[in-house]
């Protein structure tokens, strides 16, 4: 009994002591209010399209929730009112037609030179595009520009002309911020130069930039000519318009790691909070098939008839071999225009494609629209056959779905290499498609334990990093506040984000002057030692040895 009273007394004393502490120490909550006020933001994209705009608009939607006004200026008519109802769109004109611009090159080997077509088109449209940006910026009293980083000179130029802060956003690092040991298949180089030979590194680090500069020089001259016509300051080769912040929709794990300056930030994968759900028809198909292969190549790239026949045949044979039991194929083009009427299986049997294309096959379903994220997120989706676009790659990584990648062009070849390096995908070549290769790689991706383990690892990493779109919005808000406090954009604007080497120049910024001086001192010392050694040997040979010989003769 005495023991129980003692314990009760002790607890009472501890409680009184805690009450005393709380009474004598008052705590104030941490204030995180930054005193935001509503500002006007313009999102601009010359190329347009979902893959370019959706990540930017997901960040912009956060800024709208925080009280800012966002206007979208892009080609086509992208923004559905249900998806981004608070963002107003003004059109630049018709949507760019990739197939029309590339012409017969659409299914040929895709290297950086092909991007010249898009650059020429943008230069041709520059005056009209710039004037549109200018009018919208003035009419809506724009305080900050968010420019799609892909071929969007007019957006950058109007921001700098009006001395407004400008943020770029894209799916890959700008060439000026590319890591020292990274390249891209679009440049005829491997994605990583870490294990490449001296000659390969010399080609990718020295020769290619010189070739690129030579190729871009006449285009820059054309662009500067139309800039002068629009009263815009020309930009010399090697320089770029002033940019306050580069936001890159990627994350290390998918992207090869590298060091970054503070004004270049990777904030991906940028994903929406909600996605369209499965249609009743697709839901029924998914729920009645346990091992589904999902196929989608985006809206701008697609296979030719020969390749589509091979793909369809490989899917039918994979189903017959019971590797998979269902295929959902999202198509942006009319199926009948892209397939032969009959395909022949490896066992010699013939099948008509028309019934399959019209969804008469019980295990293959074609859809002109497919809610991609909902399909990938379904537990019965076991493999994603993709072109390797950034958005598709991010969604697949987020859902932990292994990938079989058939890249067509642009950044897709580089993405395919990154996914393969991460151990979550295998890659096909559009010029050497082989049915047995497709089936073997499909089987490997479905069964390999390392693929499953890596997919789970990248899934966790993608989900953690998907929160960083809020950091992107925070950074943009900081720029807005900084520009208002700084009364616009000047030479000192955002110096806290710009590394000193950017202001010091190439030689001082990389300490080459110090290394050169050290090399000079070392060479001077070595030269001095060699000179003294030479003089000493010369003295010995001409003075001491003859004198010694004369002495011996006299003796």
Residue-level pLDDT at 258? 84
Find out whether 419 and 387 touch, Cβ atoms under 8 Å.
Answer: no
Can you give the three-state secondary structure of 300-341, one letter per residue?
A: CCCCCHHHHHHHHHHHHHHHHCCCCCEEEEECCCCHHHCCCC
Confidence of residue 107 (pLDDT cuts 50, 70, 90): low
Q: In whole angstroms, how far apart are CA 41 and each of 64, 259, 434, 440?
A: 9, 30, 49, 50
- At residue 234, the 3 state secondary structure works out as coil
Report which of residues 332 and 121 the model is more confident about.
Answer: 121
What whole-number percentage of the chain has pLDDT above 70?
81
Give the mean pLDDT of 88-95. 80
The Cα 326–Cα 364 span in angstroms is 6
SS3 content of the chain, % helix, strand, coil (to 5): 50, 15, 35
**Range among 61-70, 79-88, 213-222, 428-437 with highest mean pLDDT value:** 61-70
Report which of residues 465 and 219 the model is more confident about.
Answer: 465
Give the mean pLDDT of 123-144. 89
**Topology annotation, domain 40-243:** Rossmann fold (3.40.50)
Q: Tell me how far the alpha carbon of residue 164 is from its chain's centroid.
A: 25
The Cα 185–Cα 412 span in angstroms is 9
Confidence of residue 230 (pLDDT cuts 50, 70, 90): confident
The Cα 357–Cα 508 span in angstroms is 64
Question: Does residue 195 register a pLDDT over 70?
Answer: yes
Report which of residues 466 and 554 the model is more confident about.
Answer: 466
Confidence of residue 124 (pLDDT cuts 50, 70, 90): confident
Confidence of residue 111 (pLDDT cuts 50, 70, 90): low
Rounded to a whole number of angstroms, the distance between the first and last alpha carbons of the chain is: 121
CATH code of the region 280-465:
3.40.50.2000
Q: pLDDT tens across 390-416, in order?
A: 888 999 999 999 999 988 877 788 888
Which residues, in sequence order, are CB contacts of 510 under 8 Å at separation 6+? Answer: 501
CA neighbor of 389 nearest in space, from 497, 207, 254: 254
Question: Does residue 89 register a pLDDT over 90?
Answer: no
The Cα 377–Cα 95 span in angstroms is 30
Residue-level pLDDT at 256? 86
Question: Does residue 336 register a pLDDT over 60?
Answer: no
| Range with the poorest average pLDDT among 9-13, 164-168, 433-437, 545-549 | 9-13
Residue-level pLDDT at 175? 65
Residue-level pLDDT at 469? 92
Find out whether 375 and 286 touch, Cβ atoms under 8 Å.
Answer: yes
* Residue showing tokens 């050290």: 518
Residue-level pLDDT at 403? 94
Residue-level pLDDT at 450? 94
DSSP 298: T
Question: Does residue 103 register a pLDDT over 90?
Answer: no
Confidence of residue 224 (pLDDT cuts 50, 70, 90): confident
Residue-level pLDDT at 467? 92
Q: pLDDT tens across 435-494, in order?
A: 889 999 999 999 999 999 999 999 999 999 999 999 999 999 988 887 777 666 666 677
Residue-level pLDDT at 395? 93
What whole-number percentage of the chain has pLDDT above 90?
22
Q: pLDDT tens across 252-285, in order?
A: 988 888 888 888 889 989 998 888 889 889 999 9
The Cα 244–Cα 433 span in angstroms is 44
Residue-level pLDDT at 219? 82
Residue-level pLDDT at 28? 74
The Cα 468–Cα 36 span in angstroms is 20
Give the mean pLDDT of the chain. Answer: 81
Question: Does residue 385 register a pLDDT over 60?
Answer: yes
Confidence of residue 294 (pLDDT cuts 50, 70, 90): very high
How is 36-104 classified by DSSP, letter by letter?
A: ----EEEEEESS-SHHHHHHHHHHHHHHHHTT-EEEEEEES----TTTSTT-EEEEEESPP-HHHHHGG
Confidence of residue 380 (pLDDT cuts 50, 70, 90): very high
Find out whether 352 and 342 touch, Cβ atoms under 8 Å.
Answer: yes
Q: Are β-strands 326-330 and 69-75 bridged in parallel, bridged antiparallel, or unpaired?
A: unpaired
pTM for this entry: 0.81
CA neighbor of 408 nearest in space, from 75, 108, 50, 208: 108
């Amino acid at each position: 009994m005495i023991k129980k009273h003692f314990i009760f007394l002790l607890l009472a004393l501890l409680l009184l002591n805690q009450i005393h502490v709380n009474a004598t120490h008052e705590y104030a909550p941490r204030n995180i209010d930054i005193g935001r006020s509503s500002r006007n933001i313009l999102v601009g994209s010359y190329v347009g399209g979902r893959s370019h705009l959706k990540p930017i608009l997901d960040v912009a939607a956060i800024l709208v929730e925080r009280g800012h006004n966002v206007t979208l200026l892009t080609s086509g008519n992208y923004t559905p009112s249900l998806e981004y109802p608070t963002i107003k769109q003004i059109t630049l004109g018709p949507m760019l037609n990739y197939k029309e611009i590339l012409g017969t090159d659409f299914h040929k080997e895709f290297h950086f030179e092909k991007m010249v077509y898009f650059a020429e088109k943008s230069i041709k449209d520059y005056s009209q595009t710039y004037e549109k940006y200018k009018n919208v910026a003035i009419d809506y009293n724009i305080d900050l520009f968010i420019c799609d980083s892909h071929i969007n000179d007019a957006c950058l130029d109007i921001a700098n002309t009006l001395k407004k802060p400008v943020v770029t956003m894209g799916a890959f690092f700008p060439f000026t911020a590319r890591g020292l040991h990274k390249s891209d298949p679009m440049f005829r180089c491997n994605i990583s130069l870490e294990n490449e030979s001296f000659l390969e590194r010399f080609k990718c680090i020295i020769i290619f930039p010189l070739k690129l500069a030579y190729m871009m020089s006449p285009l820059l001259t054309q662009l500067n000519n139309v800039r002068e016509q629009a009263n815009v300051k020309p930009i010399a080769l090697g320089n770029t318009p002033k940019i306050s912040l580069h936001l890159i929709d990627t994350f290390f794990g998918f992207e090869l790691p590298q060091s970054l300056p503070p004004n270049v930030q990777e904030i991906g994968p940028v994903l929406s909070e909600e996605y369209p759900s499965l249609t009743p028809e697709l839901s029924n198909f998914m729920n009645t098939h346990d091992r589904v292969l999902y196929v989608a190549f985006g809206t701008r790239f697609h296979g030719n008839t020969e390749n589509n026949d091979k793909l369809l045949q490989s899917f039918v044979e994979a189903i017959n071999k019971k590797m998979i039991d269902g295929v959902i194929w999202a198509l942006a083009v009319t199926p009948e225009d892209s397939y032969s009427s009959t395909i022949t299986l490896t066992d010699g049997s013939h099948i008509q494609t028309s019934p399959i294309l019209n969804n008469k096959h019980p295990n293959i379903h074609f859809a002109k629209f497919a809610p991609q994220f909902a399909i990938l997120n379904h537990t019965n989706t076991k493999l994603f056959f993709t072109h390797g676009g950034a958005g598709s790659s991010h969604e697949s990584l987020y859902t932990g779905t292994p990938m079989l990648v058939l890249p067509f062009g642009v950044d897709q070849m580089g993405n395919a290499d990154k996914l393969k390096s991460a151990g979550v995908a295998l890659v096909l070549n559009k010029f050497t498609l082989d049915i047995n290769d497709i089936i073997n790689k499909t089987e490997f991706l479905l069964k390999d334990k390392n693929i499953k383990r890596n997919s789970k690892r990248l899934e966790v990493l993608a989900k953690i990093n998907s929160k960083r779109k809020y950091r992107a919005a925070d950074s943009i808000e900081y720029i807005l506040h900084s520009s208002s406090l700084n009364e616009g954009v000047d030479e000192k604007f955002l110096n806290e984000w710009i590394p000193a080497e950017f202001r010091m120049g190439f030689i001082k910024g990389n300490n080459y002057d110090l290394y050169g001086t050290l090399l000079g001192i070392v060479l001077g010392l070595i030269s001095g030692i060699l000179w003294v050694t030479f003089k000493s040997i010369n003295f010995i040979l001409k003075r001491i040895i003859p004198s010694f010989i004369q002495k011996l003769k006299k003796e």
